[in-house]
Amino acid sequence: MKKLHRWGIVAILLMAVVSCQKDLLVIVPQDEGQKDEWIERTKNFRERYTLEEMVVLSRHNIRSPLSGGGSVLSRVTPHKWFEWTSKPSELSVKGGELEKLMGAFFRQWAIDEGIIQSRINPSSEQVRIYANSLQRTQATAQFFSDAMFPGVGIKPEMHEELGKMDPVFNPVTTQVDEAFRAEALAQMAALGGDEGLAGIGAVVSDEMSLLERIIDIKDSPAAANDTTSFKRNDVLISIQEGKEPSMTGGLKLACSVSDALLLQYYEETSDIAAGFGHYLKFEDWTRAASVKDWYQDVLFTTPAVSKNVSRPLLNEIQKELALKDRKFTFLCGHDSNIGSVLAALDCEDYLAPYAIEQKTPIGGKVVFEKWLGADGVEYVDLLLVYASAGQIRNKSTLTLNAPPIALPLSLKGLPANRDGLYTLADLQKHISSILQ
């Protein structure tokens, strides 16, 4: 039996949510003690479609904070941060272990769907593994590849020297003139309401207050000098040719703390230790994460910027989907890549259930499934596949009977058939309009 898994078991309360979508039955149990449930595509669906290819855009797995536990982070809290198992910004030991689990799951999934064989030694025409040239992305891709294709030894493509951003994955703005800069800044300012850029921090003011309490910033070394809270109204944004959109101000500092705190949550086995001695509910962790998500949204997901910075990756995705012999493609980048690509495609708003990061979960993957219909037409479905917060913390083995979560994604303005699939031709035309 061929199954498409979309939901794992993650949370604490007993409840099932049942809905019909894309000719599928969705059952979402919310109790880790319950039997795994999944979505299974119906017999009629299977008679009408055959899976031809998966193109996967992945975020790297768990890393250490970009600055490690260094001066920026140690200055704003009296507490000691987790002892990271890797250098600043690099993939952690646990991150590698988790990516191996995800690669092993994708192997089972792909074999079950029939797009690869269990003893495959794939050619370069069939399989492509390509990652940004930073340690955390290259290592993530290597762990995934070794688990999905054990014993084959596929080395991820690296187009720049290690430590230098690959232009395909580098979310920098290009062709920046005053008209583009004005449009981009206006769209960002609109997110702050009547206050414009000065109001952007206020959108997550309550969440920033939660961060201040968790890290006890009032008792920090910074409090003895100049910083007893994160400023809300001092956001400044810069958009320059050949550089990532950048921000200064209290929201940026709060984002760094949010990022480090979440990484500490993933690594720590104790909830109390992860929260610096504070008892935090799951909802508190998602609120803490929303500060980082908001920072990323402001910089990378407005219409003008998302289309500008995502073009190189969308070009790669478009080319991969057009290849007749390709069975599996893995492109490994960053949360800014996933956020900007989905925003450029005009993806419907979503919040990832049972994830701390509800927009671009750590190690999460956007999967473009290419299906051949019985009518001879090629179709595409989009999923966001990721391990739940519980699966991450427990390093849970992922199998067809205990799968990660897969969230169906929908694109605005693109017509779908009765099964919720887009024609490949329509999607390719849509991407071409963005690339122009």
The DSSP code for 80 is P
Q: Which two tokens stand for residue 177?
A: 């003139």
What's the token pair of residue 232? 């809300």
Torsion of CA 338, 340, 345, 349, to 10 degrees: 80
CB 235 within 8 A of CB 202: no
Name the percent of the chain lying above pLDDT 70: 90
Domain that holds residue 240: 178-304
**Please, what is the average pLDDT of the chain?**
90
Last residue of a domain, one of 242, 273, 304: 304
3-state secondary structure of 366: strand
Q: Find, among 33, 114, 298, the residue nearest to 190 by Cα.
A: 298
pLDDT > 90 fraction of the chain, expressed in percent and rounded:
84
What is the b/e burial string over 362-396, where b = at least 16 CB atoms within 10 angstroms of the residue's CB? Answer: bbbbbbbbbbbeeeeebbbbbbbbbbbbbbbbeeb
130 assigned to some structural domain: yes
Split at pLDDT 50, 70, 90, the class of 5 is: very low
Residue 62 has pLDDT above 50, yes or no: yes
Query: In total, how many domains does the chain have?
Result: 2
Which of 17-31, 110-124, 176-190 has the largest mean confidence?
176-190
Query: In this model, does residue 220 exceed pLDDT 50?
Result: yes
User: On the CB side of 239, how many CA atoms lie within 13 Å of its CA?
Assistant: 26
Q: Are 40 and 24 in contact (CB under 8 A)?
A: yes
194 shares a domain with 161: no
Distances (CA, A) of 302 to 31, 60, 174, 185, 189: 36, 23, 15, 9, 10
248's CB contacts (< 8 A; 6+ apart) are 234, 235, 236, 238
| Whether residue 197 is found in the same domain as residue 300 | yes
Q: Which of 192, 250, 208 has its CA nearest to residue 226?
A: 250
Q: Tell me the C-alpha distance between 204 and 297, whole Å.
A: 12
Instruction: Confirm whether 270 is domain-assigned.
Output: yes
- Within-domain flag for 418: no
Could you give the CA distance from residue 436 to residue 131 in angstroms, rounded to a whole number?
25
Cα 263 to Cα 266: distance, rounded to the nearest angstrom: 5
Q: Does residue 16 lie within any of the structural domains?
A: no
Across the strands, what pairs with 406? Answer: 385
What is d(CA 38, CA 28) in angstroms, rounded to the nearest whole number?
Answer: 8
295 lies in the same domain as 219: yes
CATH number for the domain spanning 293: value is: 3.40.50.1240
Among 288, 304, 320, residue at a domain's last position: 304
Look at the block and give the residue holding tokens 């074999």: 111
Q: Which of 22-31, 84-93, 110-119, 222-231 has the weakest average pLDDT?
A: 22-31
Identify any residues that bridge with 131 across adjacent strands, giving them in sequence order: 332
In this structure, the dihedral spanned by the alpha carbons of residues 211, 239, 185 and 57, taken in order and rounded to 10 degrees, is: -70
Pairing of strands 246-248, 378-386: unpaired
Residue with tokens 């790669």: 316
Over residues 325-343, the mean pLDDT reads 98
Task: Looking at the structure, tell me whether residues 185 and 298 fall in a common domain.
Answer: yes
CA distance 381 to 62: 27
153 and 223, same structural domain?
no
Q: What is the pLDDT at residue 278?
A: 97
Structure tokens at 335: 């949360």
User: Does 26 map to a domain?
Assistant: no
118 within domain boundaries: yes
- Residue-level pLDDT at 38: 52
Determine the pLDDT at residue 39. 61
Asked if residue 247 belongs to a domain, the reply is yes
Q: What is the pLDDT of residues 369-420, one digit of tens each?
A: 999 999 999 999 999 999 999 999 999 999 998 999 999 999 999 999 999 9
Active site residues: 60, 335
Question: Do 282 and 354 have their domain in common?
Answer: no
Q: Position of tokens 């993933």?
A: 266
Of 304, 320, 336, which one is at a domain's C-terminal end? 304
CB 192 within 8 Å of CB 200: yes
Decide if pLDDT at 72 tops 90.
no
Judge if 147 and 197 occupy the same domain: no
Q: Is 24 domain-assigned? A: no
Q: Are residues 207 and 354 in the same domain?
A: no
Same domain, 131 and 165: yes
**164 and 311 share one domain:** yes
**Closest to 436 in 3D by CA, of 304, 311, 302:** 311
Q: Are residues 116 and 217 in the same domain?
A: no
Are residues 313 and 298 part of one domain?
Answer: no
Q: Which residue has the tokens 């990271």?
A: 84
Q: What is the mean pLDDT of residues 166-191?
A: 98
